[in-house]
Amino acid sequence: MKKGRLLIDTYRCKWCEACVVEMPEFFFYDERTGKATATSEPVELTETLEAVIALCPTNCIEVVEK
């Protein structure tokens, strides 16, 4: 399975909480920015993760494939 790193464009994130609710193992609330942030570890690009990325209303979650 492919792996990649998650990047969140905090400018576009409107903190709807969807990613954090759906996958708290990868996504967190960042008190510093008041927006979502993601684990810095490489993650596997599972169907579940892709579904969560597709849920983001502002399309601000990116995967940089390794």
Position 43 contacts ligand SF4 (CB under 6 A)? no
Degrees (nearest 5) of the Cα angle 34, 26, 49?
115
Pick 17 or 50: Cβ nearer ligand SF4 = 17
Q: CA 21 from chain center: how many Å?
A: 11
Position 23 contacts ligand SF4 (CB under 6 A)? no
Instruction: In whole angstroms, give the CA distance from residue 58 to residue 66.
Output: 24
Position 51 contacts ligand SF4 (CB under 6 A)? no
Position 16 contacts ligand SF4 (CB under 6 A)? yes
What one-letter code names the amino acid at 45? L
Chain contacts with ligand SF4 (rule: CB under 6 A): 8, 13-19, 36, 56-58, 60-61
